[in-house]
Amino acid sequence: MTTQLNDGNNEIKLVMRARQDIESFGILYDLYFPRVYKYVVYRVFDYAAADDIVSEIFERVLANLSKYDERKAPFGAWVFAISRHAILDHLRRRKAHPLLALDSLARRADPGSNTEQATLEHDRNNSLRAAIHTLSAQEIDLIGLKYSFGLTNRQIASALGKNANNVGVMLHRAINKLRGALAGEEEDDE
């Protein structure tokens, strides 16, 4: 059978194997690192901090993998919960040590290529991330669950303890807000 691995059943199989098999854990890491990193960057808007937080998240994932119960929630929702706690811990620490100033996204402005297209893409992505950072924490969580972890509205509702219809409405509102923020930035620059 050849199928995409984002299919729920396949993912469960992979997670179950990852508990016993190091190679499967490596594959699971490869699948989830981009998702987790994306969500964390959206929340903290800081690459250096994101590197630290994501490291902590995966340490926790590894330490607690045997406790994950696939009957209770999709794996993505479980990782999201760990991610959210790690981010809150980070934000608390940062509040306690305000001198640790926010890193700028522009610090990693090298797109890795000199082509104009790559530069445009890099700038556009940074603009998107900056615009996302203007959303509320709850809105970023919604965006993260949907576009980083790939959950359905029903799964998001379950993860956040909300009604599935409300999730749809809130997501629509958040994306609309995002669109406004992006358009606003564009106008400011003009």
Partner 1 sequence: MNNRSNNINIDVLNKNSSVHEEEALKKVTELLFNDQPAAESRVEKSLKERLLQRYASAQHETADSAKAPGFHHVPSRQFKWVMAGIASIIALYGILFLSVPEVQAATRNLIIRIGNLLIDNDPTDAELYVATMTSGTPTATVDPNKVCEDCRQVQVAGLLSVEQAGENAGFPVFEAAYIPDGYELVVRDVLDTDETITVDTSYRMELDPPLHNGEMMSAIIAIEQTYFKKGSPVWESSVGDVPIVEVTVRGYPGIWLEQVPIYPFQDENGDWNYANWNQLIWAEDGYNMMIQTNMPSNLLPLSELQKIAESLE
User: Which residues within the stretch 3-42 sit at the binding site for partner 1 (CB under 8 A)?
Assistant: 3-6, 10, 13-14, 17, 19-27, 29-31, 33-34, 37-38, 41
Task: Give the whole-angstrom CA distance, residue 46 versus residue 149.
Answer: 19
Query: Rounded to the nearest whole angstrom, what is the least distance from the CB of residue 94 to partner 1 in the complex?
Result: 19
Nearer to partner 1, 46 or 157 (CB): 46
Question: Is residue 117 close enough to count as binding partner 1 by CB under 8 A?
Answer: no
Tokens for 75, please give them: 């794996």
Distance CA 184, CA 109 (A): 22
Question: What are the residues whose beta carbons fall under 8 Å from the beta carbon of 181, sequence distance 6 or more?
Answer: 131, 134, 135
Tell me which of 15, 44, 54, 142 binds partner 1, using CB under 8 A: 54
Using CB under 8 A as the binding rule, whether residue 127 contacts partner 1 is answered as yes
Structure tokens at 12: 């469960």
Stretch that binds partner 1, among 75-83, 86-94, 120-128, 158-166 (CB under 8 A): 120-128
Cα-trace Rg, the chain: 18
